[in-house]
Amino acid sequence: MRISVIGAGYVGLVTAAALASKGHNVIVVDTDETRVGMVNQKKSPIFEEGLDDMLSNCIDSNHLRATGDYREILPTDITLICVGTPSNPDGSMNLSYIKESARDIGRVLGAENGHHTVVVRSTVVPGTTKKVITPALEQHSGKKAHMDFDVAVNPEFLQEGKALHGFFNPDRIIIGEEERRAGDMVEKLYEGISAPVIRMGITTAEMIKFTSNAFLATKISFINDIGNICKKLGVDVYDVVKGVGIDYRIGEYFLNAGIGFGGSCLPKDLKALVHASGHLGYQPLVLESVLEVNRNQILTMLQMVEEKLGNLKGKTVCVLGLAFKPNTDDIRNAPALEVIRLLMEKGASVKAYDPLAMPNAKSALSEQVEYCRNAKEAVAGCDCILVLTEWDEFKDESLYHGKMVFDGRRVLDPGEAETFCDYCGICW
């Protein structure tokens, strides 16, 4: 198939490279010229395991190319919208990139003679495809949706760090469609991939993505709530999970207690869902609490540090881990960034190290953080260590000998850690 993908971010590039590697002819359209140049030079602008190699192979075999020119989507059969949908300051979803891409796709579709399918792969608040994207495509093309061109929804469930693996081994493929023809086109993209394909209406498909992310976030805040109670009881929440997770109705996954969830999706999608609910006249009490518990984990970490270290003015705090989770360079909504801001507000100096995320953290933080070349350099001479991302290299116990350690990710076994450092787990 001839495929165009709008947006060369995590979702767009992974989708484009994966489809090109299956033998489809793919072009990636991005408004950022630097990104376009990098992709064409076989260099991924973002870090994702295996993506550089896959991009390189697909470009060499002429199956993939990047461009800044929307007109190049004209000869393709199907266009996947993968632009970002970040948060507005009030928590609502910022649809400006989605609207711009719908406008630009619409303008091209105006000149199209064949039949085109537009697929929304970005996460959008349920109702957005019907109420915002389809009307914009119609307005700017002068054509009628579901007659002259088709619209479908195909949410991504890619987890950063294992996104390519996730593309080829999905738990399910969700297709939202108004007419069979559009759903069939989307299903064709995944030919050869073994997974249940579930087809439904467009708004239902959008809601499935939000519900998945809301549930994952709820599991994390739930176990952090339980962990906070356990800590007061002198019970280890990780032992509790071993006994609880074995119940198939509950499951062992996403029950790692700690500093809380971050990333480009869970926090933003949850906030957008709470915001959208308010507009529908419903107050989602569970979801609001999930966000509150997540915020409180950060404040709890700060409180623990202050309780043990006293006034933070003039103290040097080492932060190990900046990315929102290991095996990514992504720092969007990473708990570490907020912890650093609060530490510095209280007068502490911060030394930090992350194997991949330091360049991104440097651009995101205006604070004067001392970025170190490795973990050993970061821990040297500090008053305490905060572990905020569970990178494998932070499991090296020699980093912590004789230090005061606050573990936000359970990188150390508490029983063992107590023998070589002054150890404090966030909720264990």
Catalytically active residues, by annotation: 265
* DSSP reduced 3-state for 25: strand
Contacts of 41 (CB under 8 A, 6+ apart): none
Of the candidates 17, 44, 73, 84, which one interacts with ligand UDX according to CB under 6 A? 84
What is the rounded distance in angstroms from the CA atom of residue 329 to the CA atom of residue 335?
14
Shortest gap between Cβ of 113 and ligand UDX (angstroms)? 25
- Residue nearest ligand UDX, Cβ-based: 9
Whichever of 97 and 149 has its CB closer to ligand UDX, that residue is: 97
Residue 63 binds ligand UDX (CB under 6 A): no
- Closest CB 81 distance from ligand UDX, rounded Å: 9
Give min distance, CB of 399 to ligand UDX, in A: 20
Question: Measured from the CB atom, is 79 or 85 closer to ligand UDX?
Answer: 85
The answer to whether 157 contacts ligand UDX (rule: CB under 6 A) is yes
- Exposed/middle/buried for 163, CB within 10 Å: 0-12, 13-18, 19+? buried
Buried b (16+ CB within 10 A) or exposed e, 77-107: bbbbbbbbbebeeebbbebebbeebbebbbe
Nearer Cβ to ligand UDX (6/182): 6
Cα–Cα distance measured from residue 67 to residue 110, given in angstroms and rounded to the nearest whole number:
20
Binding to ligand UDX (CB under 6 A) within 252-291 occurs at 254-256, 258, 260-266
Nearer to ligand UDX, 158 or 293 (CB): 158
Residue 35 binds ligand UDX (CB under 6 A): yes
Only one of the segments 110-118, 232-240, 248-256, 363-371 lies at the binding site for ligand UDX (rule: CB under 6 A); that segment is: 248-256
How far apart, in whole angstroms, are the C-alpha atoms of residue 399 and residue 403? 8
Q: Which two tokens stand for residue 162?
A: 């294992």
Locate 4 and state its tokens: 């165009």
Closest distance of CB 159 from ligand UDX, Å: 4
Yes or no: say if 405 and 378 are a contact pair by the CB < 8 Å rule.
Answer: no
DSSP 272-335: HHHHHHHHTT---HHHHHHHHHHHHHHHHHHHHHHHHH---TT-EEEEE--SSSTT----TT-H
Binding-site member from 76, 87, 101, 360 for ligand UDX (CB under 6 A)? 101
Q: Does 123 bind ligand UDX (CB under 6 A)?
A: yes
CB atoms within 10 A of CB 292: 11
Answer whether 378's CB lies under 8 Å from 353's CB. yes
30 counts as binding ligand UDX under rule CB under 6 A: yes
- Which tokens sit at 234? 């002198």
In the complex, least distance from residue 147 CB atom to ligand UDX, rounded to whole angstroms: 26
Cross-strand bridge partners of residue 198: 174
Does 227 participate in binding ligand UDX (rule CB under 6 A)? no
Q: How far is the CB of 282 from ligand UDX (least distance, A)?
A: 23
Q: Which residues bind ligand UDX (CB under 6 A)?
A: 6-12, 30-32, 35, 82-85, 97, 100-101, 122-123, 156-160, 213, 216, 220, 254-256, 258, 260-266, 324-325
